[in-house]
Amino acid sequence: MAEGTRDVPYQAEWTPNLRHRPDPNRVNGPAVPARTIAPARRPTLPEAPYPQPTTTSPQPSYYDLSILKAPVWKWQIASYFFCGGLSAGAYALSRMAERAGDEKYRDLSRMGAYLALAALIPCPPLLIADLGDPKRFHHMLRVWKPGTPMNLGTWSIVAYSGMATYEVVRQYLQDRSDRIGSAQRGRLLKLMNNGVLLAIHDAAGVPFALMVAGYTGVLLSCTSNPLWCKNPWLGPLFSASALSTGAEAISLALDCTAEGGQPQSPSHSILRKVDTLAHLTEIGCLAGFLRFAGDKARPLRQGSQSKYHHLSLRAMIAAELLKLVPFGGALRKPIRMLSSALGLAAGFALRWSMVHSGRDAAEDPHAARLVSQPREG
C-alpha cells in the first residue's frame, strides 16, 4: 500500500441506505431507471403426432385433446327431460282449460290431470338411476340454493309433484261423486273444490309446472359444454316443447279412450291450436339457438346425433301438414292420432339429440376452445 494512504473499507452506492434513519422510506442515491419488460414470446408447441381436422375457423388445441370432460349422461336423462316436460305441459293446460272453460273442457282438464301424474311418476326413478345413488337425490334437498338451477329444479319437482297429486285426487273424487257413499269423502271433495283453495292451488301449481318445463334447458345453458353454454334459447325451447307434447299427449289419450261413435269434442279444437302455436314457437327458438351457437352447434347439425335433430324437425312439420289435409269421416280420428304421435316423437327426438350431442361437442377440442372466446358484437 502506498505511503500516506489509509485502509478505507469499500462501500457500495446503496450501503448508506442500510443505516438507521428516522425517514426509512427515503432512498438516497441515484434513481434507478425502470426496466422495460419485453413482451412475452408465445411458446412454440410441438407438432401434433397426427394431422388435426381443419374447420372454417380452426382453433389451436393441445395434441388435439379437448380441455373439457364429456357428460356421462345416458338414456335416463333424455327420458327424464321428456317425461318431465310432458307432465308439466299437460298439467298447465289442464288447469288453464278448467279456469277458462269450466265444464266446456271437462274432458281436457280431467285427462290432463291424469296424464300429468302418470308422466311424472317415472321421473324420480330415472333421475336417481342416473345419479347412481338414491342418497344423492336426498342430499340435494338438504340445502336451498335458488341461484343453482339443479337445486331449484329439484325443489320445483318435489313441490310440483304435490300439486299434481292433489289435482288427481280431486278429479278422481269428482268423477265418482255420484258413487261416494261416505260422508267423509263428500266433505273432502267439497273442501278440495273450494274456490279459494283452488285459486291458491293454481297460483302455486301452474308456476311450478312452468318451472319444471323449462328449468332443464336453463340447467344445460349454465354448463361449460360448447353446445349449451350461455345459450338463452334453451329454456324457452324446452318450455315450448313441453306445451306441445302435453297437448299432443292429451289429444292422443282422448282419442284412445273415446267411444267409436262419439263426436269430436271442443277440447280437440283448442288442443290443435295450442299445439300449432307451440310448434311455431319451438321452431323459432330452435332457429335462435342454432344462430347463437354458431360453429359450436356443428355436432348437432352434422354429428352422430344429427339424424335425431333432423327427425325432430321433420316430424314437427309432418304433424302440422297432417292438420291441414281435409280428411273427413272415418279417417279424421286416425289422422289426428297420427299427427299427435308424430308430435310426441318430435319432442323426444329433440331432447335426445340435444342431450347426446353435448358429448360430441365436449370431445371436440376446437369447439371447447370457442367457449372461452368473447362473442363479437
Model pLDDT for residues 20-44, shown as the tens digit of each residue: 666 655 555 555 555 555 565 655 6
Q: Which residue has the higher pLDDT, 151 or 57?
A: 151
Query: pTM of the full predicted structure?
Result: 0.76
Alpha-carbon distance 358 to 313, whole Å?
19
The grid coordinates of residue 109 equal 282438464
Within-domain flag for 337: yes
Across 146-160, average pLDDT: 81
Within-domain flag for 50: no
The pLDDT, as a whole number, for residue 175 is 78
Asked if 334 and 249 touch (Cβ cutoff 8 Å), the reply is: no
The pLDDT, as a whole number, for residue 183 is 64
117 is in which domain, residue-wise?
A: 75-370
Asked if 374 and 70 touch (Cβ cutoff 8 Å), the reply is: no
The pLDDT, as a whole number, for residue 156 is 85
% of the chain at pLDDT higher than 70: 74
| Mean pLDDT taken over the chain | 80
Within-domain flag for 168: yes
| Domains contained in the chain, number | 1
Q: 77: helix, coil or strand? A: helix
Q: Which residue has the higher pLDDT, 347 or 58?
A: 347
The pLDDT, as a whole number, for residue 50 is 41
pLDDT digits (tens, 9 = 90+) for 300-327: 888 788 899 999 999 999 999 998 888 7
- pLDDT at position 185 over 60: yes
Across 351-357, average pLDDT: 91
6-10, 50-54, 152-156, 305-309 — which one is most confidently predicted on average?
305-309
Q: Which residue has the higher pLDDT, 374 or 228?
A: 228
CA-wise closest residue to 366 among 53, 59, 118? 59
Across 349-358, average pLDDT: 91
pLDDT digits (tens, 9 = 90+) for 102-122: 778 888 999 999 999 999 999
Within-domain flag for 96: yes
Alpha-carbon distance 39 to 36, whole Å?
9
The pLDDT, as a whole number, for residue 273 is 92
Across 64-70, average pLDDT: 68
81-85, 164-168, 298-302, 335-339, range with the lowest pLDDT: 298-302
- pLDDT at position 240 over 50: yes
Within-domain flag for 16: no
Within-domain flag for 338: yes
Look up the CATH number of the domain holding residue 143: 1.20.1630.10
pLDDT digits (tens, 9 = 90+) for 333-343: 889 999 999 99
Within-domain flag for 198: yes
The pLDDT, as a whole number, for residue 52 is 47
Q: 65: helix, coil or strand? A: strand
The pLDDT, as a whole number, for residue 41 is 63
Within-domain flag for 180: yes
The pLDDT, as a whole number, for residue 53 is 47
Across 166-193, average pLDDT: 75
- pLDDT at position 2 over 60: no
At residue 49 the predicted structure's pLDDT band, cuts being 50, 70 and 90, is very low
- pLDDT at position 344 over 70: yes
Asked if 268 and 251 touch (Cβ cutoff 8 Å), the reply is: yes
Q: Which residue has the higher pLDDT, 371 or 103?
A: 103
For residues 308-341, b (16+ Cβ closer than 10 Å) or e, as one string? bbebbbebbeebbebeeeeeeeeeebeebbebbe
Taking every pair of Cα atoms in the chain, the longest distance, rounded to a whole number of angstroms, is 136
> Residue 62: beta bridge partners?
65
Q: Where are the alpha helices (DSSP H) in 121-233?
A: 123-131, 134-140, 149-175, 183-192, 195-221
The pLDDT, as a whole number, for residue 145 is 75
pLDDT digits (tens, 9 = 90+) for 241-250: 999 999 999 9
- pLDDT at position 48 over 50: no
Chain centre to alpha carbon of residue 88: 13
The residues near 80 (Cβ < 8 Å, ≥ 6 apart) are 122, 123, 126, 127, 130
Q: Which residue has the cell 334447458?
A: 217
